């Protein structure tokens, strides 16, 4: 329904889709400005950094498309409309996800795919068909990890109610983090986004394998293939937290 309602206003749809593409394009412009002054950043070439940018952008775009509305949950809890949703015979999660489904968010994905193509053309190595499959898997797993973190943030609002900004720090902030090579960050930060909030599995860890690079944390090789497992584990965790959240949820009254 939201799908059709968005398409009803064609001009507005086109404009906002372009806007979404342009807003992520500006982040990429920042990267290009940096590379107009240097050949390498943290030991990575412009093609390699563009690959990181593109995979992070596609993963975030996909997660945003399906679960971006999770940050509305806090507002819905405050104004009490969650109560209405809870008595409907459809799981709350599906309702929040489908609520105001905004197709214009494909803008970020389209722009990400374009940069992805450009990045691959700039790389010295050519990928084998298997490596292309791996690349698609990276984007898919990354989307699930971003999505789970988004939903986890949403579930957290059952308790915090007003912390959508914290969620943005993890998702949009994580996106900003993963657009640049891991070698420019401090070790503590890298440990944090590997073991604590597993953002590194969105693209850094599998991409380092694809690009034949050493892990800056010196992790063993098999860790490079853990992204699907991390994604599944995060989904399970999110499901549990979501359920506990609903059970402890108290309506705001009135």
Partner 1 sequence: MRTSGLYRAVAGSSFRRYATYRVATAAGVFTNTIFGFFMSYTFIALWDQRPDLGGYDQAQALTFAWVGQGLLAATAVIGGGFREELQERIRTGEVSIDLYRPVDLQMWWLSADLGRAVFHLLGRGVVPLAVGALVFELALPTDPLRWLLFCCAVLLALLVSFAINFLVALVAFWLLDGNGLNMVSNLLGMFCSGMVMPLTVFPEQLGTFLQWLPWAALLQVPADVLLGRYSGAGAFAVLLFPLVWAVVLLLLGRAVQAAATRRVVVQGG
Query: Of the ranges 12-20, 65-73, 93-101, 136-144, which one interacts with partner 1 (CB under 8 A)?
Result: 12-20
Crossing angle for the helix pair 129-160 and 227-248, nearest 10 degrees?
20
Q: How far is the CB of 90 from partner 1 (least distance, A)?
A: 28
Position 96 contacts partner 1 (CB under 8 A): no
Q: Which of 8, 33, 90, 130 binds partner 1 (CB under 8 A)?
A: 33
Position 136 contacts partner 1 (CB under 8 A): no
DSSP H or E segment with residue 84: helix 81-86
Position 83 contacts partner 1 (CB under 8 A): no
Quick check: helix, strand or coil at residue 213?
Answer: coil
Cβ 191 vs Cβ 217: under 8 Å: yes
Nearest CA among 20, 186, 42, 220 for reference residue 112:
20
| Beta-carbon count within 10 A of 139 CB | 23
Q: What does the DSSP 8-state code read for residue 41? A: B
In the block, tokens 């402890």 appear at 248
Position 196 contacts partner 1 (CB under 8 A): no
Cβ 221 vs Cβ 132: under 8 Å: no
Q: Which of 66, 101, 118, 185 binds partner 1 (CB under 8 A)?
A: 185
Q: Which of 72, 168, 226, 233 binds partner 1 (CB under 8 A)?
A: 168
Q: What mask of x and - would describe binding to partner 1 in positions 37 to 76, judged by CB under 8 A?
A: xx-xxx----------------------------------
Quick check: helix, strand or coil at residue 44?
Answer: strand
Position 7 contacts partner 1 (CB under 8 A): no
Cβ 78 vs Cβ 252: under 8 Å: yes
- Whichever of 24 and 59 has its CB closer to partner 1, that residue is 24
Half-sphere exposure of 63 (CA within 13 A, CB side): 31
Q: Which of 86, 94, 136, 169 binds partner 1 (CB under 8 A)?
A: 169
Q: Which of 136, 184, 236, 240 binds partner 1 (CB under 8 A)?
A: 184
Query: Of the ranges 14-22, 112-120, 210-218, 221-229, which one interacts with partner 1 (CB under 8 A)?
Result: 14-22
What is the C-alpha separation between 237 and 239, in angstroms, rounded?
5
- Give the residues lining the site for partner 1 (CB under 8 A): 12, 15-16, 19-20, 22-23, 26-27, 29-30, 33-34, 36-38, 40-42, 160-166, 168-169, 173, 176-177, 180, 184-186, 189
């Amino acid at each position: 329904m939201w799908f059709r309602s968005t398409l009803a206003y064609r001009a507005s749809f086109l404009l906002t889709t372009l806007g979404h593409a342009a807003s992520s394009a500006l982040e990429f412009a920042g990267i290009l400005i940096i590379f107009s002054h240097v050949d390498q950043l943290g030991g990575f070439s412009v093609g390699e950094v563009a690959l990181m940018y593109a995979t992070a952008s596609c993963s975030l775009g996909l997660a945003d498309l399906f679960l971006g509305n999770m940050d509305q949950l806090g507002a819905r809890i405050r104004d009490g409309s969650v109560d209405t949703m809870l008595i409907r015979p459809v799981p709350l999660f599906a309702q929040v996800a489908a609520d105001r489904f905004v197709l214009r968010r494909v803008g970020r994905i389209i722009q990400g795919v374009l940069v992805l193509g450009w990045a691959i053309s700039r790389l010295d190595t050519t990928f084998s068909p298997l490596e292309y499959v791996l690349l698609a898997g990276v984007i898919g797993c990354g989307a699930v990890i971003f999505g789970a973190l988004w939903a986890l943030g949403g579930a957290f609002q059952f308790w915090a109610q007003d912390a959508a900004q914290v969620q943005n720090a993890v998702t949009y902030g994580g996106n900003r983090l993963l657009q640049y090579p891991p070698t420019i960050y401090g070790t503590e930060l890298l440990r944090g986004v590997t073991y604590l909030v597993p953002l590194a599995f969105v693209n850094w860890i599998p991409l380092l394998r694809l690009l034949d690079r050493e892990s800056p944390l010196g992790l063993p090789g098999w860790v490079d293939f853990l992204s699907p497992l991390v994604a599944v584990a995060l989904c399970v965790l999110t499901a549990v937290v979501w359920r506990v959240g609903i059970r402890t949820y108290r309506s705001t009254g009135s």
